[in-house]
Amino acid sequence: AAGVIQSPRHLIKEKRETATLKCYPIPRHDTVYWYQQGPGQDPQFLISFYEKMQSDKGSIPDRFSAQQFSDYHSELNMSSLELGDSALYFCASSSLSGITDTQYFGPGTRLTVL
Amino acid sequence: DAKTTQPTSMDCAEGRAANLPCNHSTISGNEYVYWYRQIHSQGPQYIIHGLKNNETNEMASLIITEDRKSSTLILPHATLRDTAVYYCIVSEDSSYKLIFGSGTRLLVRP
């Protein structure tokens, strides 16, 4: 079965640079979620979108922004990167209008800020 | 903050059942219990969820106490590939953000 796709899988950036992470949800899923997992920590919710509108917001820094496009894929834009932004970033998707609304996670993007 | 309490770590022998407990004493009537696991930095993997009744699927069984204040995830025949961090999450709806606690680190021994 098709899964959530994230790209790139690995990304290395310098401090103060920008980064863009992409998420392609499972086909026919209309909701996307972003989570951040720092080294040795548990995943933390950042932000979610339903039908291209922001549906919830967690502890997402102001330097980060995200959006969901008409094809339901989502992008997380991160500016003025800091060393502390080094983490795994997971995207999950679900279908609020489908049979199940269970969240399914992608493999993640590992961001390293030098 | 997470609404659940889980043991920090557990271990079991390969081929035996692994029983992972979770306390959620403040769960409200419309909240579900979800279980996910994360195998070494991979994306969290959905296992099972339930509201009141016990649930079973191809991966595991979920036993929820009658007062719904605790639950147990059962992996009937643990394998080495089941070694992972298991998260018990209480949520009104999976469409809401998932709040991960510390989880239980399960080690399956050969």
Q: Which residue has the tokens 């209309």?
A: A30
Which contiguous run of DSSP H or E holds residue A36?
strand A31-37
Q: What is the mean pLDDT of chain A?
A: 94
Q: Which B residues, 21 through 80, put their C-beta within 8 Å of a C-beta on chain A?
A: 34, 36, 38, 41-46, 49
The per-residue pLDDT for A108 is 98
The predicted model gives B30-43 an average pLDDT of: 93
Chain A residue whose CA is closest to B42: A107
Name the token pair of B81: 């590939």
| pLDDT bracket for residue A82 (50, 70, 90) | very high
Mean pLDDT of the B14-42 span: 94
> If you average pLDDT over every residue of chain B, what do you get?
93
Token representation of residue A31 = 């909701």
Q: Which residues of B touch A100 (CB under 8 A)?
A: 94
Contact criterion met (CB < 8 Å) for B44 and A88 = no
What is the residue whose two structure tokens read 């692994």?
A: B18
Which residues of chain A have a Cβ shorter than 8 Å from any chain B Cβ?
4, 31, 33, 35, 42-45, 48, 50, 56, 58, 88, 90, 92, 94, 96, 100-108, 110
Quick one: tokens of B35? 């279980």
Q: Is B97 on the interface with A (CB under 8 A)?
A: yes
User: Mind spelling out the 3-state secondary structure of B32-98?
Assistant: EEEEEEECCCCCCEEEEEECCCCEECCCCEEEECCCCCEEEEEECCCCHHHCEEEEEEEECCCCCCC
Confidence (pLDDT) at B30:
84
